[in-house]
Amino acid sequence: MTKLFSLLESPIGELLLTGNGRSVSGIWMQSHKSEWKRANAWQRDDAVFAVVRAQLTEYFSGERSSFELALAPEGTDFQRKVWNALCEIPYGQTISYGELARRIGQPSAARAVGLANGSNPLPIVVPCHRVIGADGSLTGFGGGIERKRWLLAHEARWSKVTGDLFS
């Protein structure tokens, strides 16, 4: 099956959306240069990504706190377990890598959880930006710390505006 892509302008820079026409396999920021280079061999089809584009646009405008998309990230069973747990972190909230490790039943695996978190091919939708250091520091985000800071501030702002709606 042909690999498809679309580009989306966002407040954190242009995003490269990838998938197969039925599901989304990646959301890549400009810091993911290898994915951007590979996109040269793929077929652009903005229409196929209309729902993804709309939901991300709603997220960035503060109208959406969760996503309803068919996802197809490629990863190991452990990575998928971590990524599923990421989706359980409420909008506008953060947890530590250690807490995420406890939530998946492997409390001594904080480093492995950090590596799986860093391999997440669907940032924003699978909210790896909501995981922070045990001391509250912003650590490890493939899109860069400034983008992570922006995403967390964005969610904090909108979760306060909407109150219990997103809680």
Q: Which domains does the chain have, with CATH numbers?
A: 4-60 (3.30.160), 77-166 (1.10.10.10)
CB neighbour burial string for 140-149, b if at least 16 within 10 angstroms, e if fewer: bbbbeeebbe
Q: What is the pLDDT of residue 164?
A: 45
Tell me the pLDDT tens digit for each residue of 17-63. 999 989 999 999 876 566 767 777 889 999 999 999 999 999 999 99
Beta-carbon neighbour count of residue 162 at 10 Å?
15
Tell me the pLDDT tens digit for each residue of 101-138. 999 999 999 999 999 998 999 999 999 999 998 888 78
Q: Are 69 and 54 in contact (CB under 8 A)?
A: no
| DSSP string over 59-127 | HHTTS-SS----B-----HHHHHHHHHHTTSPTT--EEHHHHHHHTT-TT-HHHHHHHHHT-SSTTTS-
Q: What is the pLDDT of residue 1?
A: 61
Catalytic annotation, pick one of 128, 132, 151, 152: 128
| Contacts with 45 (C-beta within 8 Å, 6 or more apart), sequence order | 4, 5, 6, 21
Q: Are 24 and 69 in contact (CB under 8 A)?
A: yes
128 noted as active-site residue: yes
- Token pair 């993804």: residue: 52
